[in-house]
């Protein structure tokens, strides 16, 4: 079941494009991760989805309700923990949650029991009488989380929920978030790859306001590890070597690297995941009598893919990378479909 649909979202701050034509869908009962470096547009996107700020263009539909046309109904489905939790430092935890419950219009007769349940869930029972300003950062974050969960909205959105916490607190908050999946759908943001792969069922990688990849952590790893690059130095005539390499069907991409020595051609070849092209390249070069002086194979890690996709580069280079990655994904999916069809 589809819970959230984001269509062609654009946000401009003056001339600056913070969100660049973003579209994606969220299904019920999963944990989604927005992954991207600082400035990628994660908070802006979350602020738009939750109705905190307006988009320049595009639509947000939550459980069938457009956030602009039916804001009350749409917002009722969402609990939000913004990057800066909206805490009132001079309130006690209990006072604050009561206040949040009133804002969320939770019926009076349900309020007390629900607050108790939520405090139990995020383990803040023992500090409920304390002033928020006297709590540690970890506890404050839990109070913020309690506020987001209150009212049991379908969709819980958490902006960098573990930022600034110590390792022990991070593990506790992560476990808490994982537990939410039983009853809720969660979207969280993070600039840390390991965090997103540890917690999320599905990862959306953002860079410069654009979606550059979206898949399960397992599939992203498969894609990443599937990527093999062969670096070569071959002695001989450039045209002859390039045309021989070009005749190899197993080579997906050929990139020429500037060579330091004349009469030596430096190449980077990319092959698809299940092919080891080393032998083939060897025999081909032997055939045209161009000796290989050096050959190494490298694999990209998930970290490499993330960096490749999000590093600051010229927009054209970025776009090329994005297309290359998406193409690989499509090819892989088609292949899987073929394989599955074969099983039937």
Q: Indicate the residue among 50 and 271 with the shorter CB distance to ligand ADP.
A: 50
Minimum gap (Å) between residue 163 Cβ and ligand ADP: 11
Treating both helix axes as pointing N-terminal to C-terminal, what angle do 137-149 and 167-180 enclose, rounded to 10 degrees? Answer: 10
Residue 155's binding partner among Mg ion, ligand ADP, none (Cβ under 5 to 8 angstroms by kind) is none
Minimum gap (Å) between residue 35 Cβ and ligand ADP: 10
Cα(330)–Cα(302) distance, integer angstroms = 18
- Which run of H or of E encompasses 38? none
Instruction: Give the Cα-Cα-Cα angle 340, 341, 344 (nearest 5 degrees).
Output: 95
Three-state DSSP state, 85: coil
Minimum gap (Å) between residue 159 Cβ and ligand ADP: 7
Residue 18's binding partner among ligand ADP, Mg ion, none (Cβ under 5 to 8 angstroms by kind) is ligand ADP
Site residues (CB under 6 A) for ligand ADP, limited to 43-102: 43-44
Number of residues that bind Mg ion (CB under 5 A): 3
Phi/psi for 325 (5° steps) reads -65, -45
Site string for ligand ADP, 160-199 (x = CB under 6 A): ----------------------------------------
- How many C-beta atoms surround the C-beta of residue 73 within 10 A? 14
Decide if residue 205 touches ligand ADP (CB under 6 A).
no
Minimum gap (Å) between residue 39 Cβ and ligand ADP: 4
Contact (CB, 8 A) for 59 and 7: yes
Contact (CB, 8 A) for 282 and 265: no
Q: Which of 3, 4, 6, 18 binds ligand ADP (CB under 6 A)?
A: 18
Minimum gap (Å) between residue 128 Cβ and Mg ion: 29
Residue 116's binding partner among Mg ion, ligand ADP, none (Cβ under 5 to 8 angstroms by kind) is none
Decide if residue 13 touches ligand ADP (CB under 6 A).
yes
Site residues (CB under 6 A) for ligand ADP, limited to 309-338: none
Contact (CB, 8 A) for 213 and 220: yes
Cα(331)–Cα(252) distance, integer angstroms = 12
Instruction: Give the Cα-Cα-Cα angle 145, 148, 151 (nearest 5 degrees).
Output: 130
Treating both helix axes as pointing N-terminal to C-terminal, what angle do 217-226 and 302-310 enclose, rounded to 10 degrees? Answer: 90
Residue nearest to Mg ion (CB): 43
Decide if residue 43 touches Mg ion (CB under 5 A).
yes
In b/e form, how buried is each residue of 21-56, taking b as 16+ CB within 10 angstroms? Answer: ebebebeeebbbbbbbbeebbbbbbbbbbbbeeebe
Q: Indicate the residue among 100 and 212 with the shorter CB distance to ligand ADP.
A: 212
- Which run of H or of E encompasses 123? none
Decide if residue 16 touches ligand ADP (CB under 6 A).
yes
Q: Indicate the residue among 13 and 282 with the shorter CB distance to Mg ion.
A: 13
Site residues (CB under 5 A) for Mg ion, limited to 56-95: 83
Three-state DSSP state, 210: strand
Q: Indicate the residue among 40 and 97 with the shorter CB distance to Mg ion.
A: 40
Decide if residue 36 touches ligand ADP (CB under 6 A).
yes
Decide if residue 41 touches ligand ADP (CB under 6 A).
yes
- Residues contributing to the site for Mg ion (CB under 5 A): 42-43, 83
- Residues contributing to the site for ligand ADP (CB under 6 A): 13, 16, 18, 36, 38-44
């Amino acid at each position: 079941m589809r819970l959230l649909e984001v269509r062609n979202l654009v946000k401009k701050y003056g001339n600056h494009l913070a969100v660049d034509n973003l579209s994606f869908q969220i299904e019920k009962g999963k944990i989604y991760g927005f992954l991207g470096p600082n400035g990628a547009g994660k908070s802006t996107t979350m602020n738009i989805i939750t109705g905190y700020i307006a988009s320049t263009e595009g639509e947000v539909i939550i459980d069938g309700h457009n956030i602009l046309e039916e804001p009350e109904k749409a917002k009722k489905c969402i609990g939000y923990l913004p990057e800066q939790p909206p805490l009132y430092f001079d309130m006690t935890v209990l006072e604050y949650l009561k206040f949040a419950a009133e804002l969320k219009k939770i019926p009076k007769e349900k309020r007390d029991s629900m607050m108790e349940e939520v405090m139990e869930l995020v383990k803040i029972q023992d500090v409920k009488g304390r002033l928020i300003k006297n709590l540690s950062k970890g506890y404050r974050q839990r109070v913020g989380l309690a506020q987001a969960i209150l009212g049991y909205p379908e969709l819980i959105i958490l902006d960098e929920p573990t930022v600034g916490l110590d390792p022990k607190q991070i593990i506790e908050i992560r476990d808490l978030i994982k537990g939410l999946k039983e009853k809720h759908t969660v979207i969280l943001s993070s600039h840390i790859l390991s965090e997103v792969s540890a917690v999320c069922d599905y990862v959306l990688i953002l860079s410069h306001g654009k979606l550059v990849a979206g898949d399960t952590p397992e599939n992203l790893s498969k894609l990443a590890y599937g990527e093999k690059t062969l670096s070569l130095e071959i002695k001989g005539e450039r045209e002859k070597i390039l045309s021989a390499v070009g005749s190899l069907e197993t080579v997906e991409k050929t990139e020429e690297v500037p060579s330091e020595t004349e009469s030596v051609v430096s190449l980077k070849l990319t092959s698809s995941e299940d092919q080891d092209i080393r032998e083939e390249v060897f025999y081909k070069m032997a055939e045209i009598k161009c000796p290989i002086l050096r050959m190494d194979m490298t694999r990209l890690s998930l970290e490499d893919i993330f960096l490749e996709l999000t590093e600051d580069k010229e927009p054209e280079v970025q776009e090329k990378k994005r297309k290359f990655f998406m193409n690989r994904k499509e090819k892989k999916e088609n292949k899987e479909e073929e394989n599955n069809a074969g099983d039937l």
